[in-house]
Structures are given as C-alpha cells and as structure tokens.
Amino acid sequence: MPKESPSVDIIIFGGHGDLALRKIMPALYHLFCQNYIDPNSRIFSTIRTEASNDDHRELVLQKFREYHPNNYFSEETWATFASQLFCFEMDISDSDNYKPLAEALNEFPERDRVNYLSTPSSLFGDICTALNETGLVTDNSRVVLEKPIGKDLKSFIEIDDLVAAVFPETSIFRIDHYLGKDTVQNILALRFSNTLFMPLWNNKSIDHVQITVAETVGVEGRWGYYDKYGAMRDMIQNHLMQLLCLVAMEPPRSLQSDSDSVRNEKVKVLKSLRQMSKREVAENTVRGQYKSGVSEDKAVPGYLEDDDELHESDTETFVALRADIENWTWSGVPFYLRTGKRMSGRFSEIIIQFKDIPHSIFPNDGQPLEANKLIIHIQPEESIRLLMMNKVPGLGKGMRLRPVELELNIAEDDPRSPTAYERLLLEVVKDDSTLFMRRDEVEAAWEWTDNILETWHEDNIKVKKYVAGTDGPSSAVALIERDGRSWHEDA
C-alpha cells in the first residue's frame, strides 16, 4: 500500500545530465514547495566532473531558471530546498567509489531511499551491483529506471536481470513519463467513471483509433543518443504503446487496492497485438527522416546536419504504422500510430473515430454526415472534444445538419498544473507503482517492436525523407488513405 508523509533520501545517478536538470530537479523542487517531500529529505546527485555542493546548487538553479522561466519560484523556499542538495563526483560503474555516498546515506539507515538512474540503460546493471556491494540496498530502497531500457528484448532482459538480482520487482519503478500526464490519466477517468462510452468502446461502434505524438523540435543536443535508438525505440515502444494500452484495455478491477490491476490489463493488450508478417511490415509501417526546412518560422537543418559534425545515418525520426489487436473487442479496428520530430506542429492527440450511422434520413443537400469523433488532446493544450451532428438553426433552411463540438475543457484555474515527472516522483516517494511499467509489459512491447525493427533491417527498408516543418513523408498519408481513412486535422 502507498506510504504517507514520507521522509526520503533521493540519489540521482547522472545528476548533471539533461533530464536531471531539466525535469527531475524542478519536479522535486515543486514537490518540496507543496510539502509532498519532507524538508529533512536529502537529494544526492552523482556527477562526473569536480564540483562543490555550492557549484552544484548554483548549476541546478541556473538550469531551473533557464527551463522554467515563470513565476512559480520563491527565493526563500529555494534556499531551504538547495540546502538539502549534495553532489558526489564519482565513477558510478565502480563500487570502490561509493564510500562517501555510503557514509552520507548511512547517517539515516532506516530512511526510504529512491535511486533514480538517469543514465544510459547500459549502466543500470553496474550501478545496482555497486549499490548492493556497498550495502546501500535496504528494505526501504527503490530504484527508478528511465526508458528506453535496452535496445531490444534481449538487451532489456540482460539489463533487467542485473537490476532484478538486487531489487525485487515491487521496488523497481520503470518510468514512462507519459503515464504521469494529467490528460493521459484522464483517459482512465473518461472511460471508467462514465457509463456513456463503455457500451460503445469496441468494434461494433468504433471504426478506428489514431494516436499522434508530433514534435516541432529536432534531436537538439541528443544526436549521439538518438541515432542509436530512433523514433521506434525512443517513442513508439514506450509512450505510444502505453497510450494504445490505456485506450484498448478492459476495465481494471481497481486503481487502489493493488498496483497490478491496471498493469494486468495493459499486458493483455500488448500480448494481443498482431505480429506483422514481413509483407505487412512493408505495407503497414513508414520510416521517415527530416531534411532541412522551416520549423516555427525558422530555417532548420536536416537530421544529418543537426549535430556539430556531419553524419551519414539511416535512423528514423518519424514512424507511422498500423497496429491490429487480436481480440473480441478490437478485431477489425485498426490503431494508427504516428510520431515524429520536426513536424508541422507540436501536438499529441488520440482520435476515437466512431462508425458512420447505418442509414441517413437527412437529405442534407447531398452532403454526407460526419461520424462522431472523440478528440483527446494531450498537449500542448489539454482538452476532450466530442464531434456530433446538429441541426443548423433557423427557418427556411430545411433540415440541414452541421458538425458541432462538445468541449470538455479540463484545465484548472490554477495555471501551474503539475508536470508528469512531479506526479510520478510523488508516486515513487509514496511507493505506489501503479503508474510504472512492469517487466512483462516492457517485454511484450519490445517483442512487438523487435519484429518490425528486424524486418526493417533484414529487408533493408530505408527511411523516406520529409521536409522539416511538415507532417512526415507522403507514404504516411498513403498508409491510412489506402484503408479509406485519413489523419485527423483540426478544422
């Protein structure tokens, strides 16, 4: 069961990395401000270059201001928070270096410990082994693993086995920050706290589902990481497949009594995904890579030039694909997934496209009626809209119809909604793993994506180039149009 009022020691491995400074530290500060973290808690960062605690605090503050230039900052609270930040320069792959960290942690041996591994997953095994060898793993220790873990099923299992040799499954928190987003959680609320949709949520009423996560950014300073992974491993294998699970899963027994109810249902979906044949991979998947273009009114370089050096690479920065779930509920309902960098806009959305009415009684000037559509916007703005047909009001117009949207605006009056990392870190501190991925979930996701990745490799399926600032290669449009459907576009 989740714990209340935690006092905790948090150790961030990779403490000066982009993720730690951009997302984890600000999230911890906000939890601290809201009294979700006890003020006696300490935050240790392992770093690679020499720095004093004061240098470290200065850098954390500087990055906080750079990435979060808003008003949600108090000098006074920051001073208290910063006094609990400490750093250790160390080679984290070698247990001989853990002594100073161990001395600090052992001041409070009973305290809850959260080890956040914000490093490449190739280091996870070494870090866990070193923690174990230095006696730093107690009954109150947990470990948080950043995605992607491994590059395929085989490497995932190798890494996870090393972690599992030290931590029990109940103490391993595999993070997918999409599961911490408010709108993503709202999918559960929408589906399972209203009677309205449940009877319609199946292949009798739904024609197809679209899930798009479009970004305007390029690979930024992450070329080295990104080129080894690509969009399939960086986004589809985790974020988009998790969204697919939340849309397609059956009602879990409970959200509260145990962390497994939701995860059991998600695994069933992942295991029901049809493995594509080689022919289907060629037909139902598209790989793209951006070339130079204009993004948000600025000329931007192509992927190959998007680093300090020029490169040759066939890594995909865009993927579109059709997934099919083989079960009674979803048979015959394609799920179209699409994600890419340097697309025309930044938006993440889920479209539930309902079927056409079976017969129309309205002449409607020969115009076809639009089928109902549920549009779930995850970001940048959060909203849920239901498209319905409605009569054009007034006299003399006969019975003409037009589509209108019912809007459920979920933004609160408080303009600072908690970030996904804030929510997920709080869950870790409370020791509740419902929103984290279980080992079998990650395995099932890798199994499905591995099949596609292998076919791309074996059949030499090359990336198709697209101009930065557009919606990917034209074959992504053809992919869905071949089925007589089209990607949703906001009017």
> Residue 1's CB: how many other CB atoms inside 10 A?
10
Closest separation in Å from C-beta 227 to ligand BG6? 12
Binding mask 115-154 for ligand BG6 (x = CB under 6 A): ----------------------------------------
Q: How many CB atoms lie within 10 A of CB 172?
A: 21
- How many Å apart are CA 272 and CA 45, to the nearest integer? 41
CB of residue 283 to ligand BG6, shortest distance in Å: 27
Nearest residue to ligand BG6, using CB? 234
CB of 295 to ligand BG6, least distance (A): 14
Which one is catalytic: 68, 239, 359, 377?
239
Per-residue binding letters, 229-268, with ligand BG6 (x by CB under 6 A): -----x----------------------------------
Tell me phi and psi for residue 134, to 5 degrees.
Answer: -95, 10
Greatest Cα pair distance in the chain: 86
Contacts of 321 (CB under 8 A, 6+ apart): 236, 284, 285, 286, 336, 337, 338, 452, 479
Rounded to a whole number of angstroms, the CA Rg of the chain reads 24
Name the residue nearer to ligand BG6 (CB basis): 215 or 427. Answer: 215
Q: Retrieve residue 145's tokens.
A: 């693993």
The count of residues interacting with ligand BG6 (CB under 6 A) is 2
How many alpha carbons lie under 13 Å from residue 108 in its C-beta half-sphere?
A: 12
**In Å, how far are 284, 368, 449, 451, 463 from 276, measured between CA atoms?**
8, 34, 10, 7, 19
**Per rule CB under 6 A, is residue 215 in the interface with ligand BG6?**
yes
User: Measuring CA to CA, which residue among 138, 143, 181, 45 is closest to residue 433?
Assistant: 143
Minimal distance, residue 12 CB to ligand BG6, in Å:
17
Q: Which amino acid is at 206?
A: I
Closest separation between CB of residue 325 and ligand BG6, Å? 24
Distance CA 422, CA 267 (A): 25
CB of 339 to ligand BG6, least distance (A): 9
User: Between residues 234 and 471, which has the closer beta carbon with respect to ligand BG6?
Assistant: 234
Report in angstroms how near the CB of residue 14 gets to ligand BG6 at its nearest.
14
Nearest distance from residue 134's CB to ligand BG6, in Å?
Answer: 30
Looking at the Cβ atoms of 215 and 306, the one nearer to ligand BG6 is 215
Residue 295 CA to chain centroid, in angstroms?
23
Whether 377 sits among the annotated catalytic residues: the reply is no
CB of 205 closer than 8 Å to CB of 355: yes
* Shortest distance in whole angstroms from residue 247 CB to ligand BG6: 17
Give the number of other CB atoms < 10 A from CB of residue 488: 16
CA 150 to chain centre: 16
Separation of alpha carbons 64 and 463, rounded Å? 37
Catalytic sites, residue numbers: 239
Could you list the residues that contact ligand BG6 (CB under 6 A)?
A: 215, 234
